[in-house]
Amino acid sequence: MLLEKLKNIVGEKGWITDPASLEPFLSEWRDSYHGQTAIMLMPQSTEEVSAVVRACVAVGTAIVPQGGNTGLCGGAIPDASGKQVLLSLSRMNRIRALSPSDYSIVAEAGCILADVQAAAAGIDRLFPLSLAAEGSCQIGGNLSTNAGGTNVLRYGTAREQVLGLEVVLANGDIWDGLRMLRKDNCGYDIKQLFIGAEGTLGIITAASLRLFPCPENLQTALIAVADAQAAVDLFAMLRARLSDRMQAFELIPDRAMRYVLKYIADTRCPFPDASPWYVLLEYSAGAAQQTLADELVPVLESGLAHDIVLAKNSSEQQQMWRLRHSISEAQKREGASLKHDVSVPVGEVGHFIAAAESAVLRSFPGARVVAFGHVGDGNVHFNVSQPKDDSAGAFLERRDAMASIVYDVVERFGGSISAEHGIGVLKRGALIQYRSQVEVAVMRAIKAALDPDNLMNPGKVL
């Protein structure tokens, strides 16, 4: 009965029930989560989403929203009961408005991130959110997970790109908050509740987003430093000199560099000798007279860096970025690894890495820490490869023990157990453990107020 009603709402091309066709939408990228559903709906308009929600709520059926299904925490996968309805936003993929003078774009939730970037580029503007999954993740998913990526240092996370939202609430009401205002001080900022909520409070159907001028004259350098804390000190020094023109400041440990050079074809480290750590720096010089080379002279004089190589052209820039972007792939080839995407205050990144590495090695002798990431955002990918002679299975079985060790150190440094990707199912227990009772109680109160029947992506986040 419900299925027939839902099919009528979304029309002939708006649903899938065939198990084989549903399969790709019922497990995620790393294959860690699998679910079941009787139907996936693909509405084409906000009104259809609203009608779907009303029909489901009337009979107490839960809804799991799904964007590009590139999340890695199990958030977009229904549970094993087969009773939850999967709601894909993929057919809501229109750019509704684009304004060069207002530096804004209004995109429906199902727009692929790369298409939003391309639409902005088409009017000579930048939509800065950028991540490796940008060819398949959707803007609704990006906002629901408050995605980060490589441009956070200069432009902030997904949250900071949002001017307004359109959301279908848990009772089916449509909240039209698609404002284009830079200043709006009318009580609670409701849109922020839905950003990072991972579909647990309502369904984002469209967003008005900030655009920026395109960065000009990008310059890239690889800098050799003695340790991670020297990289942090270097960051503080360069931030003062380069101001908000610094686009990226990425930390690469020598172990990661060695894995990349070993496993990824056509990669080359531009330094004659290995260094314990490297920093990848990108800077938008714009029309400034000073080049990155001028700016980096004091860096060498300060002793914080012992060598610097500047990319001479775009091909060398790409080669440098390839070293950074290949780390995950190279580490995978080295054997099993356990990943922790965490953040700490920027000034503590080096101390945190040293403390977490010691703590891990005490319980996992021989484990090989590869801690890399976005120093400028305090975001560390604290990934640990299995000891060389251990079995992968035995190592992976101790996933929770390793996470507790790392998260305890994160907590000591005043950090967060989730810098990117969100909570989903994966970090639900850890959220309750590492956030205060007061904070969790506020989250539960918000959930109860906006979704009293617990039908919006139940079992995720809280």
Ligand X SMILES: Cc1cc2nc3c(=O)[nH]c(=O)nc-3n(C[C@H](O)[C@H](O)[C@H](O)COP(=O)(O)OP(=O)(O)OC[C@H]3O[C@@H](n4cnc5c(N)ncnc54)[C@H](O)[C@@H]3O)c2cc1C
- Judged by CB under 6 A, does residue 420 bind ligand X? yes
Instruction: Report yes or no: 89 and 166 within 8 Å, Cβ to Cβ.
Output: no
Which phi and psi (to 5°) does residue 281 adopt? -115, 135
Stretch that binds ligand X, among 19-27, 120-128, 354-362, 418-426 (CB under 6 A): 418-426
Residues 6+ apart with CB under 8 A from 73: 421, 422, 423, 424, 425, 426, 427
- Judged by CB under 6 A, does residue 89 bind ligand X? yes
CB of 295 to ligand X, least distance (A): 27
- Judged by CB under 6 A, does residue 337 bind ligand X? no
Binding footprint of ligand X, residue count (CB under 6 A): 36
Comparing CB distances to ligand X, the nearer of 215 and 424 is 424
Instruction: Report yes or no: 74 and 89 within 8 Å, Cβ to Cβ.
Output: no
Comparing CB distances to ligand X, the nearer of 120 and 425 is 425
Stretch that binds ligand X, among 98-106, 139-147, 227-235, 248-256 (CB under 6 A): 139-147
- Whole-number Å distance between alpha carbons of 275 and 227: 9
CB of 416 to ligand X, least distance (A): 13
Site for ligand X in 291-320 (CB under 6 A): none
> What's the one-letter identity of residue 216?
E
Comparing CB distances to ligand X, the nearer of 147 and 369 is 147
Q: x/- site string to ligand X, residues 173 to 212, per CB under 6 A? A: -------------------------xx---xx--------
Comparing CB distances to ligand X, the nearer of 329 and 408 is 329
Instruction: Report yes or no: 73 and 43 within 8 Å, Cβ to Cβ.
Output: no
Residues 6+ apart with CB under 8 A from 159: 143, 146, 192, 195, 196
- Judged by CB under 6 A, does residue 46 bind ligand X? no
Stretch that binds ligand X, among 137-145, 314-322, 359-367, 393-401 (CB under 6 A): 137-145
Q: Which CB contacts under 8 angstroms, 24+ apart, belong to 439-446?
A: 446/193, 446/201
- Looking at the chain, the number of H-run helices and the number of E-run strands are 17, 19
CB of 334 to ligand X, least distance (A): 18
The alpha carbon torsion through 110, 114, 119, 125 (nearest 10 deg) reads: 130
Stretch that binds ligand X, among 34-42, 143-151, 209-217, 406-414 (CB under 6 A): 143-151
Q: Which residue is nearest to ligand X (CB)?
A: 141
CB of 253 to ligand X, least distance (A): 18
Q: Which of 84, 90, 104, 145 binds ligand X (CB under 6 A)?
A: 145
Stretch that binds ligand X, among 51-59, 132-140, 284-292, 410-418 (CB under 6 A): 132-140
Closest listed residue to residue 153, CA positions, set 279, 27, 48: 279
- Whole-number Å distance between alpha carbons of 367 and 386: 5
Q: Which of 223, 382, 457, 458 binds ligand X (CB under 6 A)?
A: 457
Q: Which of 148, 164, 376, 458 binds ligand X (CB under 6 A)?
A: 148
- Judged by CB under 6 A, does residue 421 bind ligand X? yes
Task: Give whole-number Cα distances, 187 to 184, 191, 195, 282, in Å.
Answer: 9, 12, 17, 39
Instruction: Report yes or no: 277 and 226 within 8 Å, Cβ to Cβ.
Output: yes
Instruction: Give the residue carrying structure tokens 């009104």.
Output: 47
- Judged by CB under 6 A, does residue 149 bind ligand X? yes
Stretch that binds ligand X, among 140-148, 396-404, 408-416, 445-453 (CB under 6 A): 140-148
- Judged by CB under 6 A, does residue 132 bind ligand X? yes
Site for ligand X in 65-84 (CB under 6 A): 65-72, 75-76
Q: Retrieve residue 264's tokens.
A: 């990824």
- Whole-number Å distance between alpha carbons of 324 and 327: 6
Closest listed residue to residue 139, CA positions, set 167, 115, 172: 115
* Site residues, ligand X (CB under 6 A): 29, 64-72, 75-76, 89, 109, 131-133, 137-138, 140-142, 144-145, 147-149, 198-199, 203-204, 420-421, 424, 457, 460
